[in-house]
């Protein structure tokens, strides 16, 4: 007998080994095997008859049985193709850490009943989470709940009395949860991305909570959205797939709508007043428009809490003589200005500079801070409301100032007033998800606001459809507009995007990027945008964006294979990111 094994290597190949007599192996089992005279952990992907003359032998097993089912192996293979990565690396990224000494006792991973596959459902509405808990409590089947981050996974584990598979739990606990799930001894397990292939006895329910959360597709391998992977898994193993979100991604909404699979849980409840406030002529001088100032006054008079959401990371310095923004000499991005630290620093290369006393381009002396970051908003609010307790850290402060993440940890209805200091930062970013992100932020703001309170949105586009839809508490309106726009402009879900980036010494990297362009140009169905330099001096890259049909990875993979394989050729390495 011969065992084919894949490793965490950037090669598409599997390696064949002889199986020592007396050792019995399963597909999906972890083993140690010699590779280049070193012992490495790999996964058995095939067992076959054949002469094993001249082959090295498997050293030992890591777990006593299969840790991945055939469906999970197949999902891994698909995910590898989809993200132009290797089978082995993809699988290894989704496994619990191996036990250091003893062989872990494992019951064989359950196999599947593809007949049970049903249409994936998208659950929206304020009662979606309660409904999920109720559903899982009543059902007898197994369930896997995937949350965007560890904090959220821990919360779900508690709510569902489930075992945790994420890295917030100890390694031993993660392994125990994995194997308990495989044996059917833990009916419900929760985790983050690393738990996506956890074995479950059928009939299983796969759940993705906060479907819209960008943490479901973090940077780095495996470059694939958890949603896509779970969908594939549910089809292959015949399990039910549920996605939950208050504000789903446009892609998921569209797909679910096409399949009549949107479920609204909960009535439209009382909703705070949403008031757009036009910032024209105000924002350069002050972060608070009149409506927002009034709302803060009103809330503080009633001793209620206020949150101010800032969308800008940092302010910069502006020369009021020539209108130029001070930029990093190497990276060309605006320098970040901090009054507290009395310094400028570059976000890309980290280089710090003392405050200059004149403009480098026109030598003017009138340099002013520009852009409302949390530091400047805090100072302005203190100045305007000296009696208010104002803070960027303390959640109990009367006025809490920070990024959108402060809404995520707040219970519904926490604030009497939420102010969005400058929504347009999201809308004007050259990113087709701008509308979606603005909608998501405003909806979260409304949910964190007491139904008797108000959300003040400061913007130059008070009539924007995202604002209108949140005001009316109407998901449908927003998604209809957004889907239409995406279709017209050829963005997801109607076409797929791919970003290629080439790192290396700039001339040669540029050449390589041009080669990629040549390789893809003129291919039926592809739109290729020419390479552009990004990343400044610290991390310089040439990036090109490709638009294409749904099978884009399978179109470009063979074309780019030579460039991707000879990765260390002088001139840099090519990296591919699907669905950036």
Q: Which residues bind DNA (CB under 7 A)?
A: 9-11, 13, 15-17, 33-38, 55-56, 566-570
Produce one character per residue of 414-440: b if its CB has 16 or more CB atoms within 10 Å, e if not: bbbbbbbbbbbbbbeeeebbbbbbbbb
CA distance 177 to 386: 52
Two structure tokens written together for 580: 């950036």
Residue number, 40 or 155, with CB nearest to DNA: 40
Q: Looking up tokens 């479907």, which residue turns up? A: 211
Least Å distance, CB 458 to DNA, is: 46
Least Å distance, CB 79 to DNA, is: 17
Contact 203/116 with Cβ under 8 angstroms? yes
Least Å distance, CB 577 to DNA, is: 16
Residue number, 220 or 281, with CB nearest to DNA: 220
Least Å distance, CB 22 to DNA, is: 18
Region of 76 on the Ramachandran plot (φ > 0 left; ψ -120 to 50 alpha; else beta): alpha
Two structure tokens written together for 561: 């294979």
Contact 475/469 with Cβ under 8 angstroms? yes
Contact 403/308 with Cβ under 8 angstroms? no
Least Å distance, CB 11 to DNA, is: 4
Least Å distance, CB 17 to DNA, is: 5
Which residues in 260-311 belong to E strands, given as ranges? 262-264, 273-278, 306-309
CA distance 497 to 492: 7
What value, to the nearest 5°, has the Cα angle with vertex 251 and ends 246 and 253? Answer: 45
Residue number, 86 or 279, with CB nearest to DNA: 86
CA distance 494 to 250: 11
Contact 190/166 with Cβ under 8 angstroms? yes
Least Å distance, CB 565 to DNA, is: 8
Q: Which residues are registered as beta bridge partners of 528?
A: 546
Least Å distance, CB 58 to DNA, is: 9
Residue number, 15 or 337, with CB nearest to DNA: 15
**Overall residue count recorded for the chain in this entry:** 580
CA distance 103 to 394: 48
Least Å distance, CB 86 to DNA, is: 9
Residue number, 36 or 101, with CB nearest to DNA: 36
CA distance 288 to 423: 13
Least Å distance, CB 223 to DNA, is: 14
In three-state secondary structure terms, 234 is helix
Residue number, 16 or 473, with CB nearest to DNA: 16
The count of other CB atoms within 10 Å of the CB of residue 47 is: 15
Three-class DSSP labels, 394-436: CCCCCEEEECCHHHHCCCCCCEEEEEECCCHHHHHCCCCCHHH
Least Å distance, CB 69 to DNA, is: 24
Residue number, 38 or 342, with CB nearest to DNA: 38
Residue number, 153 or 574, with CB nearest to DNA: 574
Residue number, 56 or 468, with CB nearest to DNA: 56
CA distance 144 to 166: 12
Q: Looking up tokens 């309106």, which residue turns up? A: 477
């Amino acid at each position: 007998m011969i065992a084919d094994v894949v490793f965490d290597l950037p090669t598409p190949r599997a390696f064949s080994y002889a199986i020592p007599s007396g050792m019995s192996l399963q597909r999906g089992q972890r083993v140690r095997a010699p590779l280049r005279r070193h012992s490495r952990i790999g996964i058995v992907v095939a067992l076959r008859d054949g002469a094993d003359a001249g082959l090295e032998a498997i050293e030992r097993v890591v777990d006593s049985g299969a840790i991945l089912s055939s469906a999970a192996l197949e999902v891994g293979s698909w995910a590898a193709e989809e993200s132009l990565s290797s089978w082995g690396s993809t699988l290894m990224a989704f496994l619990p850490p191996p036990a250091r000494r003893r062989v872990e006792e494992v019951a064989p991973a359950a196999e599947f009943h593809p007949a049970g596959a049903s249409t994936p459902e998208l659950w929206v509405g304020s009662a979606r989470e309660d409904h999920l808990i109720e559903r899982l409590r009543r059902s007898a089947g197994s369930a896997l709940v995937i949350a965007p981050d560890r904090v959220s996974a821990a919360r779900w584990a508690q709510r569902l009395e489930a075992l945790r598979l994420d890295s917030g739990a100890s390694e031993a606990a993660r392994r125990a949860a994995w194997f308990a799930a495989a044996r059917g001894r833990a009916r419900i397990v929760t985790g983050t991305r690393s738990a996506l292939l956890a074995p479950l006895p059928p009939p299983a329910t796969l759940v993705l909570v906060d479907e819209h959360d960008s943490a479901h597709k973090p940077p780095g391998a495996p470059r694939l959205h958890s949603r896509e992977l779970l969908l594939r898994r549910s089809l292959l193993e015949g399990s039910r797939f549920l996605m939950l979100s208050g504000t789903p991604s446009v892609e998921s909404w569209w797909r679910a709508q096409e399949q009549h699979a949107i479920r609204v849980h909960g009535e439209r409840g009382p909703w705070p007043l949403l008031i757009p406030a036009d910032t024209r002529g105000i924002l350069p001088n002050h972060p608070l428009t009149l409506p927002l100032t009034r709302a803060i006054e009103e809330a503080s008079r009633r001793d209620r809490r206020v949150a101010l959401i800032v969308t800008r990371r940092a302010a910069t310095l502006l020369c009021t003589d020539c209108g130029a923004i001070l930029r990093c000499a190497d990276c060309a991005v605006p320098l970040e200005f901090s009054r507290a630290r009395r310094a400028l620093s570059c976000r890309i290369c980290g280089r710090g500079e003392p405050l200059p006393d004149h403009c480098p381009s026109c030598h003017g002396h009138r340099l002013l801070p520009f852009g409302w970051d949390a530091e400047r908003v805090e100072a302005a609010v203190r100045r305007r409301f000296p009696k208010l307790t104002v803070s960027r850290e303390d959640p109990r402060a009367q006025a809490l100032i920070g990024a959108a993440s402060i809404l995520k940890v707040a219970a519904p209805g926490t604030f009497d007033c939420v102010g969005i200091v400058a929504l347009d930062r999201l809308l004007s970013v050259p990113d087709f998800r701008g509308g979606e992100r603005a909608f998501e932020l405003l909806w979260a703001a409304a949910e964190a606001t007491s139904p008797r309170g108000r959300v003040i949105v400061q913007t130059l586009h008070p009539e924007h459809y995202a604002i209108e839809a949140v005001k009316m508490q109407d998901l449908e309106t927003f998604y209809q507009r957004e889907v239409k726009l995406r279709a017209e402009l050829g963005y997801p879900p109607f076409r797929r995007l791919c970003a290629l980036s080439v790192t290396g010494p700039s001339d040669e990297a540029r050449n390589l990027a041009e080669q990629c362009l040549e390789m893809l140009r003129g291919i039926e169905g592809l739109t290729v945008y020419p390479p552009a330099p990004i990343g400044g001096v610290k991390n310089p890259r040439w990036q090109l964006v490709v638009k294409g049909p749904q099978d884009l990875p399978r179109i470009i993979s063979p074309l780019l294979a030579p460039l991707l394989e000879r990765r260390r050729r002088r001139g840099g390495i090519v990296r591919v990111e699907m669905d950036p």
